Amino acid sequence: MSAMHRKLLWLESQNFQGWACSDCAWVFKPKGPLVGETIAEMTMHYEDQRDREFSSHVCAEHPRLTKKTY
């Protein structure tokens, strides 16, 4: 599947809650604390960082782990 078909998904599990790629094992890990003078500014900076990182990640560098079947 090409990068044009991948989607940013919200995932919740026992070990993870956050944004991830629909096509690979990439997950968004914010760098540092939220910045901004208001909640709206903090949200905007968070979403900008998330969207930039999602757009620029290469799925081949984040392969999903698969179970081997014998």
User: What pLDDT is stored for residue 65 in this prediction?
Assistant: 77
User: What pLDDT is stored for residue 1 in this prediction?
Assistant: 45
Q: What is the mean pLDDT of the chain?
A: 89
> pLDDT by residue (tens digit) across 38-53?
999 999 999 999 999 9
> pLDDT by residue (tens digit) across 23-39?
999 999 998 998 999 99
**CA–CA separation, 58 and 56 (whole Å):** 7
User: What pLDDT is stored for residue 4 in this prediction?
Assistant: 64
Six-digit token string for 31:
């760098």
Q: What is the pTM of this model?
A: 0.80
